Amino acid sequence: MRDWIDELVFIVFSALILLMALVYFAHAHEHMPGESDAQKRVVDFYKNWHRPKGTFGVTHRLGYCCYGDGARQDCFPVAEIRRGADGGLEAMPDVTGTHSQAQNEYGYKWYKLNTKVDEALQPDPLTSPDARAHMCIANGQVICYVGPAGS
């Protein structure tokens, strides 16, 4: 009888730990108390942004841009854009205010914008929700990109 109770306690404890981890990592693109109207527009944009085909061979607008790498934050405003050594554009995500996992995984890195996922190149282009550029990253590549207003 004691073994059965120990096993049940272990299962319940393990499930609780897993649930807490999922809640921690899944909150990245959710509305937060005190956010501005502009922040709400960005969160809603991220929640509904669907992937353009680009050069990945995915079905146009079938999958979501955000959480392309699982249930963790992977869409960000763009901090800076530059020309890389090969002449192509590169972007660095703005990870300010994100959780430490996102900062460690995506922060202060340059990502090539050569995958034809720029919204301006799509037959049904989307515009930035706040006039800033935004990008989503999966497997070390930009899978969605929208340029700043007027670009």
Asked whether residue 151 is assigned to any structural domain, the reply reads no
Higher pLDDT, 18 or 112: 112
Q: What share of the chain is helix, strand, coil (3-state, %, to 5)?
A: 30, 20, 50
- Alpha-carbon span 138 to 146, nearest angstrom: 16
Residue range(s) defining the domain that contains residue 42: 2-146
- Which residues lie below 8 Å from residue 99, measured CB to CB, with a gap of 6+? 24, 25, 28, 73
Domain membership of residue 133 (yes or no) is yes
Please give the average per-residue pLDDT across 27-46, as a whole number. 76
Is 112 a domain residue? Answer: yes
Is 59 within the bounds of a domain? yes
Q: Considering the domain boundaries, does residue 118 fall inside one? A: yes
What mean pLDDT comes out for the span 10-36? 47
CA distance 118 to 78: 13
**How much is the average pLDDT of 133-143?**
93
Q: What are phi and psi of 11, to 5 degrees?
A: -65, -45
3-state secondary structure at position 17: helix
Which of the four pLDDT bands, split at 50, 70 and 90, describes residue 48? very high
More confident of the two residues 30 and 150: 150
- Tens digits of residue pLDDT in 81-130: 999 999 999 999 999 988 888 899 999 999 999 889 999 999 999 999 99
What's this model's pTM, rounded to 2 decimal places?
0.75
Residues 6+ apart with CB under 8 A from 74: 66, 67, 68, 102, 106, 136, 137, 138
> Domain tally for the chain?
1
